[in-house]
Chains A and B, each alone.
Chain A
Amino acid sequence: MSSIQAVAKQDILAIVDSYKDENTPLMMILSEVQNKYGYIPLEVQEIISEATGIPVATIYGVVTFYSFFSLKPKGKYVIGVCLGTACYVKGAQQVCDKFSEMLKIKPGETTEDGLFTIDALRCIGACGIAPAVSINGKVYPKMTVDKVPQIIAEYRNAEGGKA
């Protein structure tokens, strides 16, 4: 195990340890790991399993049940397209499809360069500005298909045009 992995292991064990007094700590542990590392791979599930005694199958079950958790690393920019009812009737699906078309990935996938992930979300509570898109917390109100290329370019430019 390389030293970076060893550090990560210590870090994850510390997270597990911080919830040792909880009756059902799994959700809290997974949330913190997800937030910190952006994904929860098998190796990490094994570390959590060993430390908590919760079987890997159970942990995997929880990770795959909630869309908040991810098994694979997400991109640097996570494009959350709300497909809740209000956004949907105002054309969010077309917006989502446009992102897919331009980035050549499906919702839930990440571009090969690791820059973008598309997440199809349930209602994010921004129905007043439907259809809403949120990228790393920044909200884009009243989205249209036409705005998509411009937004992608904005982030690519921020990367110095490399990507």
Chain B
Amino acid sequence: MELVNIKIEGHPYQVEKGLTILQAARKCGYEIPSLCSFKDGKCSLGSCRVCLVEVKGARGLVASCVYPVNEGMEIIISSPKATAARRTSVELLLSNHSRNCQQCRKNGNCELLHVAKITGARDDVYQGAQTPATFDDLTPSIIRDTSKCILCGRCVVRCEEAHGTGILGFENRGFKTIVGPAYNRSFAESPCILCGQCVNVCPTGALMEKGEIDLVDAAFKAGKHVVVQTAPAVRAALGEEFGLPIGTTVTGKMVAALHRLGFAKVYDTNFGADLTIMEEAAELVNRIKNKGVLPMITSCSPGWVNYAEYFYGDLLDHLSSCKSPHEMMGAIIKSYYAKHNNLDPKDIFVVSIMPCTAKKYEKNRPENAVDGIADVDAVLTTRELATLIKRSGIQFNKLPDEEFDQDLLGEYTGAGVIFGTTGGVMEAAVRTAYHMITNKEADELLKFEPVRGLEGIKEASLDIDGLKVNIAVCHGMKNAKVLLDEIRSGKSKYQFIEIMGCPGGCVNGGGQPYVKPCFLPNEEDNILDTYISKRAAVLYSEDEKQVIRRSHLNTQIQDLYKNYLGEPNGHLAHKLLHTSYHARVRFPKK
């Protein structure tokens, strides 16, 4: 590693050659406010002009997010000229901003407000015309409000980088420039998979999830029997909303909070995950034995399912027909649980707490309903749950640890927990598929390393009593594309593939707490590189702590089949737990 000598504020430092001034300054303990730069300067388009600094000998001020350090460079952050310039940059951004901060749900997590505070920028310095704005709330998942957009381009880069679909782009020119899907269409009229990765990186309130707290309030008000379930990835990140370090397990406190919020039952979607594994493993074994369509691909991630419907409509037969875990859970709550508790399914309201924005869309799909009754009625993101808790006055960090309700649908295994991270569904599925084929257990599958970690595409080969099964795992549609094109061209060597929409899987879902270094002064410097694995580690450690770690050994799952469903993939199981897909037009004619 080649080092260069630089000076910041007159102090000498040695830093790695090739870093930008912003990166070098951070390494030396300085924070220069910036909006367009996100991770490693990768998202940095040098567009926001907030990170201006003085460099001795340079003509004018330079944008530190894109300007590389070189030998002998002298950088001044604090000069009156530089501080005034940064303030002006922010004031100009504010002049074309809707500035209704009081009504904005992003308030508290808004980086524009943060830099305004740091630079001393005022919102009323420049008055004048504003760019005509677009407000899009047509999808159940994501809201786009361009009156709050500062044209930093983070979302554009994120969408393209994570998925290669590049739904978002800059359009028009000059003062009329906005960021949006082609033709400034709604997300609902373009092939957006609703994953919410753009929401996670947006510095302002221009991109946000569509809130559903109102639906939950209305259900309580109407006297419904409100049952809540939480996805595995939520417990791995919810603590961040309450100032706890990234990677803190808050399962017990989360359950305690949900009990206090008045839910009739607090269940773990992990039960649904175990059920998914039973159905999915049975489907896989069936396809392998009866020469069905292979490779079979997991269908838990609604972002991925959306992608498949838009871009690989010819490969939909490869998707497992299994509903996703929370939908299965909802369907069972409104049938088995309802029957058991003498409740009319119409009086039950199922709330799913999910790390996901696409789940909001998924719950509205007509396929995810039984006899016209939706499996799930409301989906709140991890962030919305935090809002709900804060609103209620509950002091989250002071809560005791409590257990999920244990009756009927309360037991879950370690296999269900790891669903929340890339490779987890695969690991859980092979544990059970192995058993279904051999009637034996394989302990090496309890820590199945080849499918763990954050590599884009992971693969492994299993020998199940002489039956060779090739598997692959990927996350982010850019990686999925590689495997899907192989299938399309008939060259895929796999029998089973796990695909998750978001990079890293659900732990990094579009509904998870914002990871914004400027709001996390106590986290390590490279938190943007490590937060996904830290959250995943929570799930793996919870798996290890479970006594039962294989879905088929969940006794309540066994009872459910024995007393109600019959066989996995049987008639009733199909009616309640399976779904269908259809190819969709990317840009429907208007």
Contacts and interface: CB of A to CB of B under 8 A. Distances in A.
B172 interface: yes
B173 interface: yes
Interface in A25-63: 42, 45-46, 53-61
Given A42-B182, A46-B587, A57-B182, A64 B173 contact: yes
A129 B165 CA distance: 49
B346 to A, nearest CB: 42
A64 B183 CA distance: 9
Interface in B118-161: 156, 160
A42 B183 contact: yes
A64 B587 contact: no
A61 to B, nearest CB: 4
Contacts of A58: 160, 166, 169
Given A55-B165, A55-B167, A65-B172, A60 B587 contact: no
Given A55-B165, A55-B166, A55-B167, A60 B182 contact: yes
B396 interface: no
Contacts of A59: 182
Nearest to A67: B173
B326 to A, nearest CB: 31
A54 B160 CA distance: 10
Nearest to B167: A57
Contacts of B180: 57
A57 B156 CA distance: 9
Nearest to A65: B173
Q: Which of A42, A46, A61, A65 has the most CB of B within 10 A?
A: A61
Interface residues of A, number: 14
Interface in B572-587: 586-587
Contact of B169 (A46, A53, A57): A57
Contacts, number: 47
B169 A61 contact: yes
B524 interface: no
Question: Taking chain A's interface residues, is the majority helix, strand, or loop, or is none over half, making it mixed?
Answer: helix
A57 B166 contact: yes
Given A42-B182, A65-B173, A57 B168 contact: yes
A56 to B, nearest CB: 5
B170 interface: yes
A23 B164 CA distance: 18
Contacts of B172: 64-65
B71 interface: no
B586 A64 contact: no
B441 interface: no
A57 B181 contact: yes
B142 to A, nearest CB: 15
Interface string B176-196: 000011110000001000000
B31 interface: no
B486 interface: no
A42 B165 CA distance: 16
Contact of B587 (A42, A53, A61, A65): A42
A5 B182 CA distance: 22
B160 A60 contact: no
Contacts of B182: 42, 45, 56-57, 59-60
B183 A60 contact: yes
Contacts of A56: 166, 182, 190, 586-587
Nearest to A57: B169
A56 B183 CA distance: 10
Interface string A56-88: 111111001100000000000000000000000
Chain A to chain B: the 9 pairs with minimum beta-carbon distance, closest first: A55-B166, A57-B169, A60-B182, A61-B169, A56-B182, A57-B182, A61-B170, A64-B171, A64-B172
14 contacts: A42-B587, A46-B586, A46-B587, A54-B166, A55-B164, A56-B182, A57-B166, A57-B167, A57-B169, A58-B160, A58-B169, A60-B182, A61-B171, A64-B172
Interface of A: 42, 45-46, 53-61, 64-65
